[in-house]
Amino acid sequence: MNRLRIGHLADIDEKGARTFMVLDTEIAVFKLSDGSLHAVENRCPHKGGRLSEGMVCGTAVHCPLHDWKIDLRSGKVYEPDDGCLNTYKTEVDDNSGEIYITIAG
């Protein structure tokens, strides 16, 4: 497992997203209204829509292309659609505000 620093908490607006390139993968980090952060692949499993451009409702994001609803905590697509995407553990350093994600391998 690799723990990588990707940015600062102040870089992401509440109910907003910010994208980061990690190796060959674009990752979207969302800051929810409760202050929690969730990192997922920035592509819908349906047609590859950029989730960072979607609307966040609660703990889900709606793909901007075809409105697929995806849980930001698990990466699972809500029914009636089907699919899943990679999620990444996020941590924030309480002292510095730096954001870290954990990547497998």
Q: Per residue in 34-70, pLDDT tens? A: 989 999 999 999 998 999 999 999 999 999 999 999 9
- Higher pLDDT: 43 or 14? It is 43
Confidence of residue 23 (pLDDT cuts 50, 70, 90): confident
Quick check: helix, strand or coil at residue 8? strand
Domain that holds residue 58: 2-103
CATH number for the domain harbouring residue 9: 2.102.10.10
- Burial annotation 58-92 (CB, 10 A radius, 16+ → b, else e): ebbbbbeeeebbbbbeebbbeeeeeeebebbebee
What is residue 105's predicted lDDT score, i.e. its pLDDT?
60
In the numeric block, which tokens belong to residue 29?
């980090």
Confidence of residue 26 (pLDDT cuts 50, 70, 90): very high
Q: How many domains does the chain have?
A: 1
The model's pTM: 0.90
